[in-house]
Amino acid sequence: MAPVWLPRPPPWENGLRILLIEDDAQTAEYVRRGLTELGQLVDHAQDGQEGLLMATGGHYDVLVIDRMLPKLDGLTLLRMLREAHIRTPTLFLTAMGSIDDRVKGLESGGDDYLVKPFAFSELYARICSLGRRPPLQDVQTVFTLADLEMDLIKRTVTRSGKTLDLQPTEFRLLEYLLRHAGRAVTRTMLLEHVWNFHFDPKTNIVETHISRLRAKLDRGFTPELIHTVRGVGYKIDVAS
C-alpha cells in the first residue's frame, strides 16, 4: 500500500499569518479549518473590498486570493496592492484555469496559481513555500508632510483637506519626492525612478513636471513644499 503524504506544520513557532480572500463559504471554511488545524493563523475576507482593506491594514505572511470576487475582483485587488508597494507573497486559488488565466494572474503580481478543485496537501505545500521567503519590511502606504497627505491605496492627494487632481506622472513624481522628504534628489534620479529613463533625453521633461506639480501643490497654500536645490535638483520639505 502506497504511503500517504500528510502535511506537517512548518518550523515557525507561531505559524504563518495567512489572509484568505474567498467568497465561497464552503471552500473558505474547508481551507480555514485545514490550515488552522496545522497551526496556522488564518483571517478570512468574503469579498474583494474587505480583502483589500485587511491586506493593507494587517501584516500577513501569505495572501490566498480567489479571482472571481464580489465588489472587487482578485486581479484588480492584487494590482492595487502591488501599486501600493505591498509585496506580500500571493497565491491565486481559483476555478479559472486556462493558460491565459494563469498568465494574467502572474502578470498582475501573483507569485503562484492553483486551480480548483485542488488537493489540500498541494495547497498547503505551496503556502509553506511562499511563507519561507525572507520577511518583508513594513511598507508605507500613506505619506504626510505638513498639511499634505498622499494615500497610495486610495490614489488620492490632499492638502489642507482639499483634493488635488494629479496626473499619473505627477503622482509618481510626488511619491518619489515624499519617499525622500527632506533630502535633495537629482534630475538623473528622477529620470530613472519616475520615467524609467537610464539616459538623458535632452529635454526639460523634469523641469516641466516639477513646475506643474509645484503649481498644484503650493499655489494658494503655505508653506511652500517643493524647493529647488541649486546645482543639485529638488527636494520636498517644510523649510527650504
Q: What is the CATH number of domain 142-236?
A: 1.10.10.10
Q: Which CATH superfamily is domain 17-131 in?
A: Response regulator (3.40.50.2300)
For 176-233, write each residue's pLDDT tens digit: 999 999 999 999 999 988 998 878 888 899 999 999 999 999 999 999 999 999 989 9
Q: Is 184 exposed, middle or buried (0-12, 13-18, 19+ CB in 10 A)?
A: middle
Give every strand in the sheet of 185-186, ordered side by side. Answer: 185-186, 233-236, 226-229
Place of cell 513636471: 209
Q: Which residues are within 8 A (CB) of 197 and not within 5 positions of it... i.e. 6 or more apart?
A: 191
Domain spans of the chain, in order of start: 17-131, 142-236
The separation between CA 130 and the C-alpha centre of its own chain, rounded to angstroms, equals: 17
The separation between CA 200 and the C-alpha centre of its own chain, rounded to angstroms, equals: 30
Predicted TM-score (pTM) of this structure: 0.59
Residue 173 has pLDDT above 60, yes or no: yes
For 96-136, write each residue's pLDDT tens digit: 989 888 888 988 889 999 999 999 999 999 999 998 766 54
C-alpha cell at 145: 508632510
For 44-100, write each residue's pLDDT tens digit: 999 999 999 999 877 889 999 999 999 999 999 999 998 888 889 999 999 998 988
pLDDT at res. 72: 94
Strands 148-151 and 142-145: antiparallel
The sign of the torsion formed by the CA atoms of 41, 45, 51, 57 equals negative
Q: Which residues are within 8 A (CB) of 99 and not within 5 positions of it... i.e. 6 or more apart?
A: none
Mean pLDDT for 1-7 is: 41
In DSSP terms, 109 is beta-bridged to none
For 158-171, write each residue's pLDDT tens digit: 999 999 999 999 99
